[in-house]
Structure 1
Amino acid sequence: MNKFVYVLFFLGASCMHKNIPLTAPQPVKKAFTHSKHGDNRQDDYYWLRERENPDVIKYLQSENAYTESVMAPAKKIEEKIFGELKSRVKEDESSAPVKDGNYYYSARYELGQQYPLHVRRLGSATGPEEILLNIPALAQGHSFYQSTGPRMSMDQNKMAYSVDTVGRRFFTIYFKDLKTNTMLPDKIENVSGNMAWANDNETVFYSQQDPNTLRVHKIFRYSLKTHKAELIYEEKDETFSCYVYKSLSDKFIYIGSFSTLSSEIRYIDADRPLNAATLFQKREKEVKYMVTDHVDRFYITTNKDAKNFKLMTAELTNTAASAWKELVPHRKDTYLMDVTVFKNYLVLEERFNGITQLQIMDLQGKNPYLIPFADQSYLASVGDNREFDTDTLRYDYESMRLPSSVYDFNMKTHQQVLVKRDEVPNYDENLYRTERVFLTVRDGTKVPVSLIMKKDLKLDGSAPMLVYGYGSYGANMDPWFNSEIFSLVDRGFVYAKAHIRGGSEMGREWYDQGRTVNKKNTFYDFIDCTMELVNLKYADPQRIYAMGGSAGGLLMGAVMNMRPDLYKGMVAQVPFVDVITTMLDDSIPLTTSEYDEWGNPNEKTAYDYIKSYSPYDNVKDARYPNVLVTTGLHDSQVQYWEPAKWVPRLREHNKGDSVILLKTDLEAGHGGASGRFDQLKETATEYAFILMLDQPAAL
């Protein structure tokens, strides 16, 4: 019996629908019921999680074919957009060389290549070049190839690097002797890619994930002398994950255990890598702390009795929290994100009023200096710094209008030098303007929104607008530069990035107001910001589009159910849409570690709240907007079956003539394609979908 039946899918008679097939793929329904807390949920597409089932692959392929046929009228504009996107890429781009000892490290692309070369030069940034990793050559024969790049030993004579050729973020670590230019026989498979060298040039610490849940829960010590790995730490708490890192001073190796709301650190003398790890401070509920060091003390950022974090110090001989000393106190209006410790300076990465700032001070927390920035909306962050004993801070700066720039700032004289600014061909920053507005949402909260548009755009309510959002995990969607968006902006679009609650743009409280039992604030903020932008004449209410990925795809799904009439079209990238089912299944990757983000639905109160917004469970009879949904078969973060079953359910309940499409990358994972030009093709498809809806006459 044929596993697939095809149903009539009425698309309407508007010009954009001419020559579009009238049938959409329909996976067979297989009755399945989820039962919890006396509540039954019907899930007829649950079987689509059978990754090895040939019928699942056939269904995904049929959806791809359908999407291609529906978007056939937009093929020329898609190709044109891809050409535009590629034209704004400097094909032989290179990164700013970064000094580490006697070498200067960088990455560079060659014309036409999808992947970079990792290189170094001896003595100066213009010295003789040594190719460390030829990624274009290594990637040959692979449809997907991702590398962490080189990780150098202390003497810089050995190199480790890790590679994923599937897209599920399982890496293999390889080693090379750079003095003899030969690969070592050592190979460590199925690891996370996270690693750190000890100071003996022979020992590497690395982390490994569970093969099923993907939770990173083990730290190993590997010896290039004995060719053996030893488990030195295992995180038993299923709500925690772990990782390893090394301080800039090279004094200690750290093992960090973390959950959404708590953390715990252990440390090992990097000169004595065979020592057992020492516990820094026992974990406490809802207390996070992070540790780095100087020669004679530790520096700790923590939110213990400090919502927005404060900076503390501890002696090397006593790391108990009771012995910590306050260096930079908690500030209600400033969110302390991180600290970088140099030999003579501290650099604090902070947020004030939602905008990043860099503050420099001495080791005693005195003589603070805030690096001044002229723009009202921008992103400034500590860059690639590899030397501890230096007066130079490398930092990165960009805005929605200005491409990323790398500066070297002298922390002693306060003078700075522009090292490199990304070259963006066929782009003129003077043609655009940016704005930053605070919009009042339904509970009175003022939400910041960053916007970019053509400089001469009139705010008369006639422009199309794309609104982007995320709002989860405390992640910040800063106003960074994105050369791709100008293919829409040049066609008259306003691009709005809504800094909604659930991120940390306005501090830690901003995050807390958008998680667990406050999660709906994220969705309300996005809806209300969109409506207020329309009221302020930034856009035509009939020409509004929305985009979000992963947890931002959850945002798209929830908003779509709450206000199916508000947006003409949506792009939901790798969307997390079956929240209740996923969070009840602890065999699915990353579930247990996210109870503090979404709530634990094994508890009825959390179950009821999650179910009240979970996109898959709240699909209803409505006139849904046009939707393009993307996913990856090998996605390790959001399993492909969530969007795969969401799409047919949306179609079943859609009472309008909108198109609802699913496009699955059968080779890639959560991050999409690995090659830089292949990634642009994905963007071109998304933009062509939007333009097919907004400007059909241009097709």
Structure 2
Amino acid sequence: MDARLPAVPAHARKISHVTTRHGHERDDPYHWLRAENWQEVMRDPGVLDPEIRAFLEQENAHAQAVMADTQGLQEALVTEMRGRIKEDDSSVPAPDGPFAYYVSYVEGAEHPRYCRSPRGGGAETVLVDGQALAQGKAFFRLAGVDHSPDHRLVAYGFDETGSEYYTLRLREADGGRELDDRIEATTGHVAWAADGASFLYVWNDDNHRPCKVFRHAVGTPAEADTLVYEEADPGFFVGVGETQSRDFLVISAHDHETAEVYLIDAHAPETPPRLVAAREPGHEYHVEHRGDRLLILTNADGAEDFKIVEAPLNAPERDNWRELVAHVPGRLILSMTPLRDHMVRLEREDGLPRIVVTHFGTGEDHAIAFDEEAYSLGLDPGYEFDTATVRFSYSSMTTPAQIFDYDLQTRERVLRKTQEVPSGHDPADYVTRRLLAPAADGETVPVSLLYRRDTPLNGSAPCLLYGYGSYGISVPASFATNRLSLVDRGFVYAIAHIRGGKDKGYRWYREGKRQAKANTFTDFVAAAEHLVAQGVTGRGAIVAQGGSAGGMLMGAVANMAPELFAGIVAEVPFVDVLNTMLDATLPLTPPEWPEWGNPIESAQDYETIAAYSPYDNVRNGPYPHILALAGLSDPRVTYWEPAKWIARLREMKTDDNLLLLHTNMDAGHAGAAGRFDRLKEVALVYAFALKVAGRV
């Protein structure tokens, strides 16, 4: 491939910006790319400093020029990926009392409609039409639609900048009349009181921290809302929800390793919140309700992979907890949902998920069995409590998603829907496998593979290797139609289930965070080396991909093992880790300290982060081809992180490989909001991968 650049990239001037911490002096010459008025830019991108805007726009023009020879390919990719989407699709209706609620799309629409119909069948009512609300807007995203328990009202949140400051509005379910109620700067979801006359919501401050819970009475101005809870610790975020029984509203305060839960009687929403268990560092718990008992999913008392306990509703203190489901090391309980007669839990063991059902009366357990070597499960508890039916989704990397209703008494599963692929898909044409890659310390790293059955695994196939490895998030081995566009062109698609996720239990997470963060990066390199050793691909034929904290992974492995990779795709990459963790004013910094460490207070944390922070470890030498994607109004990974990273790479790398930065000037962390607009971003990534792998 001719790697000569056909257009001039932006030149980032250098302005010395020296800081000293724990005796270490650092000069950050690209600090000026961080807009001083970044809070204003989140709400109104139009106020961005003109010099910074010019830099980003020139980089966009450069990326477009470099990729111009793939324009036809990108258009073809969008066409075929769109051809795999059922444009007039809808979800399986979820029953709730007299109605069933669902999401649907009309053909050609970018955004969904939220609908309901009578439970026994009847005319559809469109509650909120996202496509209509998005008309004329450069960006629009619905946070969701929450209907009131009496089915009279719906609350919906929307974001028009990508900054994740959601505005809440209310409308009547019948007739669609919009109420005057309007609440700004929220997280976009509500928790309704039982009578539908009020709800709780979370407000974001100017630093984008969800720190206050208010109660809003329907029909009153937002200025009159009652403050119910305020979180004083900037390291904790708050959220609201409801128990499955709908008898209680839930306020949760949490960071990445500690939780604190308060309950409010949904039938008496003006009563003060009641604390379940005071926060203790490292104690995570989740609360549900059944009858006169609380059910609590907890990691207390050394239950690293969690156990389930119960407590009297009127005396929920820790001293009164009684064990229901014991802790089993290596069996991670992900969630639990109590229904009238049964409890359903989703757990993971040996890297694979499973669903386990417990009958409250007999205590008998049974698991729902699945056959494939690698697969993904999702559990949807639905709206109802007095039911013996639970809904779950199943897919694998070759098998389109299937939605089942499962009878907890008869153990019968009923297939409600299979994901349609309009352009056609035969699972028999593809193979999914799971390999175990040996890490340097003796651990084995699961790697999920997808490839066409006729793809030769003789070391010649290019490979896209995806990784994340942070916050305990596990990347499922699920079906995704977009991947087929690479796989059908001879790629192997692989997911490295590296430490920092919870694929092999909570320990797998613990061993990939803070002082052990380097395991995340070395696990990814080990996965790549194993794919080469097994003949799945070849050295220098791998395109690595990751986003957000996975983008940090991309920056780290680009510094550590550039010779392994043909290319790096870093989407909204968290690459300026040290500077961000040293800036307590940024939206996510204080809550992130349990994940990465606090380099403000701890010299050890400073040195640990400084040793791997991608921006701080760019070196003179060769790098793979790199594509970085950013969002101007991104509150999670601010646009200047990838911008500074690319500027430093341009200054220091010694090769002519491609170095591209594309910033979506109308969106935030998740990129384009429309389901078809998003395909254009995927097509750019795939065209880049095909280009640097020599397949165009």
Structure-1-length-normalised TM-score: 0.96
Deviations 1:130-182 (A, max 9, x none): 11111111100111111123211111011111111111110111111224531
Instruction: Using the TM superposition, give the Cα deviation of residue 75 of structure 1 relative to its aligned residue in structure 2, in angstroms.
Output: 1.2
Aligned mates of 2:482, 2:210 — CA distance in 1: 33
Aligned mates of 1:167, 1:308 — CA distance in 2: 35
CA shift in 2, pair 1:624/1:467, >3 Å: same
Aligned mates of 1:447, 1:380 — CA distance in 2: 20
Of residues 427, 430, 435 in structure 1, which corresponds to 2:428? 430
Instruction: Using the TM superposition, give the Cα deviation of residue 22 of structure 1 relative to its aligned residue in structure 2, in angstroms.
Output: 5.5
Q: 1:163–1:173: 8 Å Cα contact kept in structure 2?
A: yes
Instruction: Using the TM superposition, give the Cα deviation of residue 34 of structure 1 relative to its aligned residue in structure 2, in angstroms.
Output: 2.2
Q: Secondary structure at the match of 2:296?
A: strand
Q: 1:328–1:365: 8 Å Cα contact kept in structure 2?
A: no
Counterpart mapping for 1:29-108 below 5 A:
29-50=14-35, 52-108=48-104
- Confirm whether residue 218 of structure 1 aligns to residue 241 of structure 2: no
Query: Match of 1:448?
Result: 446
Counterpart mapping for 1:286-305 below 5 A:
286-305=282-301
Query: Match of 1:244?
Result: 240
Instruction: Using the TM superposition, give the Cα deviation of residue 225 of structure 1 relative to its aligned residue in structure 2, in angstroms.
Output: 4.9
Aligned mates of 1:460, 1:389 — CA distance in 2: 55
CA shift in 2, pair 1:46/1:312, >3 Å: same
Aligned mates of 1:452, 1:498 — CA distance in 2: 12
Q: 1:398–1:404: 8 Å Cα contact kept in structure 2?
A: yes
* Structure 1 unpaired stretches of 5+: 1-14
- Confirm whether residue 27 of structure 1 aligns to residue 12 of structure 2: yes
Letter in 1 for 2:500: G
Query: Match of 2:45?
Result: none
Q: Secondary structure at the match of 1:192?
A: strand
Deviations 1:316-374 (A, max 9, x none): 11111010000011001311111001011000110111111000011257110100111
Instruction: Using the TM superposition, give the Cα deviation of residue 396 of structure 1 relative to its aligned residue in structure 2, in angstroms.
Output: 1.0
Q: Secondary structure at the match of 2:450?
A: strand
Aligned mates of 2:569, 2:57 — CA distance in 1: 19
Deviations 1:562-581 (A, max 9, x none): 11211010100000001110
Instruction: Using the TM superposition, give the Cα deviation of residue 425 of structure 1 relative to its aligned residue in structure 2, in angstroms.
Output: 2.0
Letter in 2 for 1:322: D
Of residues 478, 481, 491 in structure 2, which corresponds to 1:480? 478
Deviations 1:181-211 (A, max 9, x none): 3111111111111310000111110011222
**CA RMSD across the alignment:** 1.2
Q: 2:192–2:200: 8 Å Cα contact kept in structure 1?
A: yes
Instruction: Using the TM superposition, give the Cα deviation of residue 605 of structure 1 relative to its aligned residue in structure 2, in angstroms.
Output: 0.7
Q: Secondary structure at the match of 1:232?
A: strand
Q: Secondary structure at the match of 1:568?
A: strand
Query: Match of 1:521?
Result: 519
Letter in 1 for 2:404: Y
Instruction: Using the TM superposition, give the Cα deviation of residue 113 of structure 1 relative to its aligned residue in structure 2, in angstroms.
Output: 1.1
Letter in 2 for 1:436: R
CA shift in 2, pair 1:527/1:364, >3 Å: farther
Counterpart mapping for 1:148-547 below 5 A:
148-212=143-207, 214-227=208-221, 228-305=224-301, 306-363=303-360, 366-426=363-423, 427-547=425-545
CA shift in 2, pair 1:683/1:365, >3 Å: farther
Q: Secondary structure at the match of 1:264?
A: strand
Q: Secondary structure at the match of 1:565?
A: helix
Structure-2-length-normalised TM-score: 0.96
Aligned mates of 1:224, 1:90 — CA distance in 2: 38
Q: 1:16–1:693: 8 Å Cα contact kept in structure 2?
A: no
Q: Secondary structure at the match of 2:9?
A: strand
Letter in 1 for 2:114: H
Query: Match of 2:636?
Result: 637
Aligned mates of 2:689, 2:152 — CA distance in 1: 51
Q: Secondary structure at the match of 2:604?
A: helix
Q: 1:27–1:59: 8 Å Cα contact kept in structure 2?
A: yes
- Confirm whether residue 663 of structure 1 aligns to residue 662 of structure 2: yes
Deviations 1:617-673 (A, max 9, x none): 000011100000000000010000010111011111111120100000000000000
Aligned mates of 2:206, 2:401 — CA distance in 1: 37
- Confirm whether residue 135 of structure 1 aligns to residue 130 of structure 2: yes
- Confirm whether residue 586 of structure 1 aligns to residue 584 of structure 2: yes
Aligned mates of 2:131, 2:284 — CA distance in 1: 41
Letter in 2 for 1:193: G
Aligned mates of 2:389, 2:526 — CA distance in 1: 44
Counterpart mapping for 1:606-617 below 5 A:
606-617=605-616
Q: 2:499–2:519: 8 Å Cα contact kept in structure 1?
A: yes
* Structure 2 unpaired stretches of 5+: 39-47
Instruction: Using the TM superposition, give the Cα deviation of residue 437 of structure 1 relative to its aligned residue in structure 2, in angstroms.
Output: 1.3
Q: 1:166–1:667: 8 Å Cα contact kept in structure 2?
A: yes
Aligned mates of 2:480, 2:618 — CA distance in 1: 33
Q: Secondary structure at the match of 1:286?
A: coil
Query: Match of 1:17?
Result: 3
Instruction: Using the TM superposition, give the Cα deviation of residue 482 of structure 1 relative to its aligned residue in structure 2, in angstroms.
Output: 1.1
Deviations 1:584-636 (A, max 9, x none): 00111110011110000011111011000000000001110000000000001
Q: 1:194–1:243: 8 Å Cα contact kept in structure 2?
A: no
Aligned mates of 1:148, 1:221 — CA distance in 2: 19
Q: 1:307–1:509: 8 Å Cα contact kept in structure 2?
A: yes
Query: Match of 1:8?
Result: none
Letter in 2 for 1:522: T
Alignment size in residue pairs: 680
Aligned mates of 2:58, 2:220 — CA distance in 1: 51
Q: Secondary structure at the match of 1:474?
A: coil
Query: Match of 2:44?
Result: none
Q: Secondary structure at the match of 2:335?
A: strand
